């Protein structure tokens, strides 16, 4: 599972309080001055963050990520949850365990569904990172109101019914290598269940509603041409959180969903904004 130049081990399984095992990936750094925990999005897995992890690593960070339940190397039904708040409980367990092993708590970075999970966990104070980065967070969906209501009904009667997630793979990035790599990734899946869909829909709404409670320095990176999540959710979150003076928002009007996997020179421009923000924070 390692590739030449990797700064991580083969990964390990960490058992959650309810017995579910999660797959952890580490990129340790012997002389790290800081650390970051990365939370991936729907249908993907932590291994897709190798390049971003190396970017942090070269800047003196230890990095950890994990495959959320129903994803990647983590065992279990794809896209399924036992309880509506499983992803929040998992993040709290992984984050707090990582923080306990470090000299100071790690930053938290979440992409897409992972950004939604990270934002909700911070707003609920399940975790207390020194800083939060949200990349194209799934705060609002393109799904119709009817489909959102249907997910709520099915979540009660058939919560783990496997359904295609319908994500448009050709709109992940302008980089022509990303779509075929994603389609051919054996750890990627295309499923979602009603309980997970309902969690995403409801939690996006509550995050926007609670944005004024944001009390952690946060960088929000928004893809203006996002076709996987509706960027108006990030705009509304930003508008609501603005008064609290903890949020920095950067808009990239022409870019697609996976900002850290965009075609150059856009990818470097996104990373420069991240690097500049981290440097000011330090």
Say whether 34 sits in a helix, a strand or coil: strand
b/e per residue 3-15 (b: at least 16 CB within 10 A): eeeebbeebeebe
| Domains in the chain: boundaries | 12-281
Tell me the DSSP string of 123-166.
Answer: HTTS---S-EEEES--SS-SS-HHHHHHHHHHHHHSTT--EE--
**DSSP element (H, E) containing 120:** helix 113-123
12-281: CATH, from 1.10.640.10, 3.40.720.10, 3.40.50.1820, 3.30.230.70:
3.40.50.1820
* Res 269: pLDDT: 98
Strand partners for 38: 65, 109
* Res 9: pLDDT: 47
Taking 50 as the pLDDT cut, the residues of the chain under it are 1-9
């Amino acid at each position: 599972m390692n590739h030449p130049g990797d700064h991580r081990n083969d990964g390990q399984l960490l058992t959650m309080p309810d017995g579910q095992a999660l797959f952890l990936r580490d990129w340790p750094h012997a002389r790290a001055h800081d650390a970051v925990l990365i939370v991936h999005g729907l249908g993907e897995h932590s291994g897709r963050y190798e390049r971003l992890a190396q970017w942090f690593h070269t800047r003196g960070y230890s990095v950890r990520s994990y495959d959320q339940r129903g994803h990647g190397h983590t065992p279990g039904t794809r896209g399924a949850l036992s309880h509506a708040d499983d992803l929040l409980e998992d993040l709290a367990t992984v984050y707090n365990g990582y923080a306990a092993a470090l000299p100071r708590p790690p930053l938290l970075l979440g992409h897409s569904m992972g950004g939604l999970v990270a934002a909700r966990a911070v707003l609920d104070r399940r975790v207390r990172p020194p800083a939060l980065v949200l990349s194209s967070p799934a705060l609002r969906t393109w799904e119709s109101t009817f489909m959102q209501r249907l997910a709520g009904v099915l979540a009660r009667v058939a919560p783990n019914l496997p359904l295609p997630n319908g994500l448009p793979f050709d709109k992940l990035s302008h980089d022509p290598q990303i779509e075929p790599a994603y389609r051919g990734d054996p750890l990627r899946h295309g499923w979602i269940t009603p309980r997970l869909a309902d969690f995403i829909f409801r939690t996006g709404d509550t995050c926007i509603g609670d944005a004024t409670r944001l009390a952690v320095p946060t960088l929000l990176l928004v893809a203006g041409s996002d076709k996987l999540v509706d960027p108006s959710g990030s705009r509304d979150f930003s508008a609501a959180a603005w008064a609290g003076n903890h949020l920095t928002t950067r808009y990239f009007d022409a870019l697609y969903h996976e900002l850290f996997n965009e075609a150059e020179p856009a990818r470097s421009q996104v990373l420069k904004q991240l690097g500049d923000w981290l440097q000011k924070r330090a």
